[in-house]
Amino acid sequence: MTRHLLALLLASGLVLSAQGAPNGDATHWLVDESQAERVRRVERGLPAVTLPDGQALRMDLEQWMDFFKIPGMSVAVFDNFHIVWMKTYGVQEAGLSRPVTLDTTFQAGSISKPVAALAVMHYVQEGKLSLDVNVNDTLVSWKVPDNEFTIREKVTLRRLLSHSAGTTVHGFPGYAVGAPVPTTVQVLNGEKPANTAPVRVEMVPGTKYQYSGGGTTIVQLLLTEQLRKPFPQVMAETVIQPLGLKHSSYEQPQPPARAAFSATGHRADGKPVEGKWHIYPEMAAAGLWTTAGDLAEVFLEVAKSKHGQSSRVVSQATTRQMLTVQAAPVGLGFFLGPGSDQFGHDGSDDGFRANVVAFSDSGQGVAIMTNSDVGYALFGPLTASIAKEYGWKSYTQEPTSPFLRFLIVFRKLGTEKALSDYASERARGPKERFGPGDLNGYGYSLLSAGQTEDAIRVLAANVALYPDDWNAYDSLGEGYLTAGQTALAIQNYQQSLKMNPKNSNAVKMLAKLGVTWSPDAGLK
């Protein structure tokens, strides 16, 4: 895999030289050889994975990228409140030679949310917005539909930012380049051309955490209506420009000048997303284009602000409020580590995965951006290697997730070994580490990669292991439908609906197959 060493920023600010790169960007090399050796140790220090046959699979970072078919990646490491190095790997698009550089932008996915939360809190501290009033008192063109849940408690900005407003719609798939794109109100109403359900309240606001990109889209509408400006302009004026982020924008779609610096998203099989990427009108929830370096600067600003060292976006008091748990495990925009100073967020847009882990008291952390649906596979191992090298005291390494282990065994030893190993690992427990999402997610990635036979085997195994999960049957139905096995698809969609009559996807798919369903009459 082509690798491109890019600008490494030192706390001292010293740079050795600048050399022309193939695409015209400058390549800067690190002066401090001791820091360069630390980078090499990080790259070689990713934890080994023991396979079912007892083999220890140990590879360096670039080899793991090849293994997972991740075309490109950008990493920024910070320590003692400064970026200490940044480095990029691979290419902007598989099959092409243009390397990822410092200027290459990636979609940040849900990391858009905490950055947007900073803008919201800026206007809260200015008195232009209130955290605790009913958002319907402020919204103009659209209102949260009232129901039996909102009669008891109201949807507020505090609850929306902490994912405790009880709102629906977990995330967004985006829209293909060239496809019709809905307005914010159409997204909230679930009206065409929106491709997601209406955003509604399905539990009493303030009762518990439930992740909701739909809720963040309400925040987007409220912010633009109150300030009477387009959302990208709001974010540019409030966060991006004050922090000097030269490579960041919420513009959807991107203007050509910015698109020229953007990486292409890739599927799990390494193939590019059609049209290079998707468009996200749900900008606050998923619309940020940025670099690992810019993300690192955002999270460093938060850490510095907590200690009164900076207030370019929000004050020390506001930052401390944002880093206080509101609805575990979330503060206001950020996920928080239990009993520690850890804060961060991850992100998933179609063809892109990103992650930031930061520590507010030590000013340590890492921002990682990839142009692959399986980029998440390297977040844990790479972060663990960085944490070891830089002595992160508040960091606890998580064991390899069942999903990731299945992916590794599948790619190394094949479907049957992976399924057998998953069943064995699940039997050993602990049970809470395993769930129907493990195999379900990978089954879908196989479907998108055109490996339909393997996908059906994985999804069928998921149904066998989790027979009480309605979504497992829904997913298996999709697998059979993709394979053209209509009768089996109908059978599994029907079973899913018997278990969950509110499964709108099964109703829609059955309708396409000529089978109707209503809660009262059942299947016809």
Residue with tokens 């794109």: 181
- What's the confidence (pLDDT) of residue 14? 34
Percentage of the chain modeled with pLDDT above 90: 84
Residue-range definition of the domain harbouring residue 272: 109-292+310-332
Write the pLDDT tens digit of every residue in 210-269. 999 999 999 999 999 999 999 999 999 999 999 999 999 999 999 999 999 999 999 988
Domain count, the chain: 2
Q: What confidence score (pLDDT) does residue 34 get?
A: 66
Q: Are residues 269 and 157 in the same domain?
A: yes
Q: What is the pLDDT of residues 364-403, one digit of tens each?
A: 999 999 999 999 999 999 999 999 999 999 898 888 889 8
Give the model's pLDDT for residue 441: 85
Q: Is residue 94 part of a domain?
A: no
- For 134-188, what is each residue's pLDDT tens digit? 999 999 999 999 999 999 999 999 999 999 999 999 999 999 999 999 999 999 9
What is the spatial distance between Cα 81 and Cα 168, in angstroms, rounded to a whole number?
37
Q: What is the pLDDT of residue 140?
A: 97
Q: Are 318 and 99 in contact (CB under 8 A)?
A: no
- Please give the backbone phi and psi of residue 22, each rounded to the nearest 5 degrees, phi first: -55, -30
The answer to the question of residue 86 being in a domain is no
Average pLDDT, the chain: 91
- Of all helices (H) and strands (E), which one includes residue 74? strand 72-79
Is 420 among the domain residues?
yes
- Output Rg (C-alpha) for the chain, integer angstroms: 23
Same domain (yes/no): 318, 175: yes
pLDDT for the residue numbered 127:
97
Calculate the dihedral angle through the C-alpha atoms of 166, 445, 47, 435, rounding to the nearest 10 degrees.
50
Assign 28 a pLDDT band (cuts: 50, 70, 90).
very low
Nearest residue to 281 (alpha-carbon basis) of 354, 231, 328, 229: 231
Cis preceding-peptide flag for 430 (omega within 30 of 0): yes
Q: How many whole angstroms separate alpha carbon 8 and alpha carbon 88?
A: 10
Residues 433 and 320 in one domain: no
Token couple for 212 = 């909701």
**Domain-located, residue 300:** no
Distance CA 388, CA 41 (A): 10
Q: How many whole angstroms separate alpha carbon 10 and alpha carbon 14?
A: 6
Q: Residue 35: its pLDDT value, please?
A: 80
How many angstroms separate the CA atoms of 199 and 205, rounded?
14
Does the pLDDT at position 31 exceed 50?
Answer: no
Confidence of residue 3 (pLDDT cuts 50, 70, 90): very low
For residue 183, give both structure tokens: 């307005």
In this prediction, residue 517 carries a pLDDT of: 73
Give me the pLDDT at residue 12, please.
Answer: 35
Query: What is the biggest distance separating any 2 CA atoms in the chain, rounded to whole angstroms?
Result: 74
Residue 469 sits in the same domain as residue 328: no
Q: What is the CATH number of the domain that holds 287?
A: 3.40.710.10
Contact 167, 199 (CB under 8 A): yes
- Looking at the fold, whether 316 and 415 belong to one and the same domain comes out as no
Same domain for 324 and 439, yes or no, is no
CATH of residue 476: 1.25.40.10
pTM of the model: 0.91
